[in-house]
Amino acid sequence: MAKLLRAGGRSSTTHLFSIITSKSRTFSSCSTINHETDLKAPPPSPSVLDRKSLPLRHDHHPVQWVFLGCPGVGKGTYASRLSNLLGVPHIATGDLVREELSSSGPLASQLAEIVNQGKLVSDEIIINLLSKRLEAGEAKGESGFILDGFPRTIRQAEILDGVTDIDLVVNLKLREEALLAKCLGRRICSECGGNYNVACIDIKGENGSPGLYMAPLLPPPHCASKLITRSDDTEEVVKERLRIYCEMTQPLEEFYRSRGKLLEFDLPGGIPESWPKLLRALNLEDHDDKQSAAA
- Is 241 labeled as catalytic in the residue annotation? yes
Catalytic residue among 81, 182, 187, 241: 241
139/130 Cα distance (integer angstroms): 14
Least Cα distance to 229 among 190, 199, 191 occurs for 190
Active-site residue, from 75, 182, 187, 257: 75
Give the closest residue to 166 by CA, choosing from 259, 73, 282, 92: 259
Q: 183 to each of 47, 124, 132, 187, 285, how far by Cα in Å?
A: 26, 26, 28, 9, 29
Query: In the annotation, is 25 catalytic?
Result: no
Options 186, 187, 257, 261, the catalytic residue: 186
Active site residue 204: no
Q: In sequence order, what are the residues at sequence separation of 6 or more whose Cβ sits closer than 8 angstroms to the Cβ of residue 119?
A: 240, 244
Clarify whether 230 is annotated catalytic. Answer: yes
**Catalytic residue of the set 23, 173, 230, 277:** 230
Indicate if 226 belongs to the active site: no
Which helix (H) or strand (E) is 182 found in, with range?
helix 176-185
Catalytic residue among 81, 133, 152, 182: 152
**Strands, sheet with 90-92, edge to edge from the N-terminal-most edge strand:** 90-92, 145-148, 64-68, 168-173, 262-266
Residue positions annotated with a catalytic role: 75, 152, 186, 230, 241
